[in-house]
Amino acid sequence: MGSTLIYCTKCGMKNRFGDLYCLSCGSPIGRGSNASQDWQKSARSKPIGQQVNTAETKIVTEFGQTGNSIDGELRKAGEGFGEGLERTGKRASDWYDRTTGIFGPMISALFGLLLLVLAVLCIMILAEERRVWVDLTDFVLTYLPLFFMLGLLGSYSTYFSRKYHSRFKWAMPITAAVSITAAFWIVARIMAIIDQSLEIPYIGTIYPWIDLLLPVIFVLVVAVGYLGLTLIEATRNKMIR
């Protein structure tokens, strides 16, 4: 069948054998191995300046093709790497669930609490008795049980979502609302401490509003969560039918 590449007689672009139109300029190209010879004859018959322009166009086009090819390979490699990480994470999660069972989330929450205590101790050592840091560490130590309970809630929510998703999914909006509302409350307390210690403008007017909006945040998260679940279930039922 001859060469697997043929040249466009107009721009000199390399094309695959059997292509009907040039990938670069869209001009019709011939079938068969004579297309390369036709282009070479056509190029020799052109003036020198036009031959140079044709050669430059050919080089630029080939360079662009090479760049696109490299970009495609890099993209495939990145996607493969991401999929590999996802598979590795899933295997590690499955192994952890099998090994620790129902106690796994509690172990994770205890580990998170330990890291929090270590961070507080480091701050206490490096803070040099600055009031804002002392007040922040006192806040964290005072509410350590709350932080532990939030860690337990997050860990067990993730665990039951993985193991019993079809049954637990209807409780997920409530657990998410509790976690998000508690996070806003913690942010408000930190802002209050910063306001008392550093007296930064506008902070003193923000955290009281957060306290007032906590019930609204809870209800809003629950409503959005159940609305999303309802829409997902309705779409899934339509697809099944």
Per-residue pLDDT reduced to its tens digit, 196-213: 887 777 888 899 999 999
pLDDT for the residue 35 = 47
- Structure-token pair, residue 202: 């506008």
pLDDT for the residue 16 = 77
pLDDT tens-digit map of 26-59: 777 755 445 445 545 555 555 555 544 555 566 6
pLDDT for the residue 44 = 54
Q: How many residues make up the chain in this entry?
A: 241
Cα gap 3→32, rounded to integer Å = 8
pLDDT for the residue 37 = 53
pLDDT for the residue 131 = 81
Residues of the chain with pLDDT under 70: 1-4, 30-65, 67, 128-129, 241
Secondary structure class of 125 (helix, strand, coil): helix
The answer to whether the Cα torsion of 208, 210, 214, 219 is positive or negative is: positive
pTM reported for the whole predicted model: 0.62
Could you tell me if residue 15 is left (phi over 0), alpha (psi between -120 and 50 degrees) or otherwise beta? beta
pLDDT for the residue 111 = 94
Characterize the bridge pairing of strands 5-7 and 14-16. antiparallel
Query: Do residues 222 and 173 touch, judged by C-beta distance below 8 A?
Result: yes
- Structure-token pair, residue 225: 């969560």
Chain mean pLDDT for the chain:
81
pLDDT for the residue 60 = 64
Phi, psi of 15 (to 5 degrees): -135, 160
pLDDT for the residue 2 = 46
